[in-house]
Amino acid sequence: MKNRKNLSAADKELMDCALSALKNAYAPYSHFAVGAAVRTATNRIYLGANLENASYGLGICAEVAAICAANTAGDFNIIEIAVIGQSLSPENLNMDSIVMPCGRCRQIILEAGQVSGGGVKVIASNASLTMISKTDIEKLLPYGFGPRNLMRLDK
Ligand code: THU
């Protein structure tokens, strides 16, 4: 387990970007803000924040927003994603646990990792940046179904 101080400079930068994205979360229903940032092989960073909807099931996770931003820029070789979450509801403000990608996000991250060929590192933090875990998407979604099952990937 790491904290912000003992992250590499690159991971610190990525997590700080995720934290800045979290500030733009649109989460009026869950009152739970999530920010994500992806780094691509070209060393660019794309941000995402969760975006909820009055039709609750339509909400979009921060990770998906960040991955879509990279793809839309034509820069889909994602090598790492940082995720951070924070409760905004007054009674839960002291909740400070690590926010890991949800199941759907894991599937979408796995796809990106198989397409890029190098997998994706996942770095996930609590709101106060005191507990940070770093792992691989293939560990978070073992034996996952992905593009490797459907197409030949050169990389
Ligand atoms: N959320 C994310 O943005 N990413 C995750 O991996 C977990 C959940 C969002 C969805 C919803 O807007 C809020 O957090 C509470 O579930």
Q: What is the pLDDT of residues 92-134, one digit of tens each?
A: 878 899 999 999 999 999 999 999 999 999 999 999 999 999 9
Asked if the structure places residue 17 within a domain, the reply is: yes
- Does 107 sit in the ligand 1 pocket, CB within 6 Å? no
Asked if the structure places residue 147 within a domain, the reply is: no
CA distances from residue 14 to 30, 98, 146 in whole angstroms, order as listed: 25, 16, 26
Note the pLDDT tens digit of each residue in 46-82. Answer: 999 999 999 999 999 999 999 999 999 999 999 999 9
- Does 67 sit in the ligand 1 pocket, CB within 6 Å? no
Structure tokens at 26: 């649109």
Asked if the structure places residue 52 within a domain, the reply is: yes
Asked if the structure places residue 146 within a domain, the reply is: no
Output the pLDDT for position 155: 66
CATH (domain of 93)? 3.40.140.10
Buried b (16+ CB within 10 A) or exposed e, 111-142: bbbbbbeebbbbbbbbbebeebebeebbebbe
Contact, 101 vs 143, CB < 8 A?
no
Asked if the structure places residue 111 within a domain, the reply is: yes
Q: How far is the CA of 62 from the centre of ligand 1 (A)?
A: 7
Shortest CA distance to 18 belongs to which of 86, 118, 78? 86
Segments forming the whole domain that contains residue 31? 4-140
Nearest residue CA, atom 1 of ligand 1? Answer: 61
Q: How far is CA 51 from the centre of its chain?
A: 14
Has residue 154 got a pLDDT over 70?
yes
> Structural domain tally of the chain?
1
pTM: 0.97
- Of the candidates 52, 63, 80, 111, the residue annotated as catalytic is 63
**Helices within the chain (DSSP H only):** 9-22, 62-72, 103-116, 137-140
Q: How far is the CA of 61 from the centre of ligand 1 (A)?
A: 5
Asked if the structure places residue 84 within a domain, the reply is: yes
Asked if the structure places residue 153 within a domain, the reply is: no
Q: How far is the CA of 142 from the centre of ligand 1 (A)?
A: 21
- Does 30 sit in the ligand 1 pocket, CB within 6 Å? yes
Output the pLDDT for position 36: 99
Asked if the structure places residue 155 within a domain, the reply is: no
Contact, 66 vs 40, CB < 8 A?
no
- Does 52 sit in the ligand 1 pocket, CB within 6 Å? yes
Contacts 24+ apart (CB under 8 A), 65-73: 65/36, 66/21, 66/36, 66/37, 66/38, 67/38, 67/108, 67/109, 67/112, 69/38, 70/38, 70/40, 70/44, 70/46, 73/44, 73/46
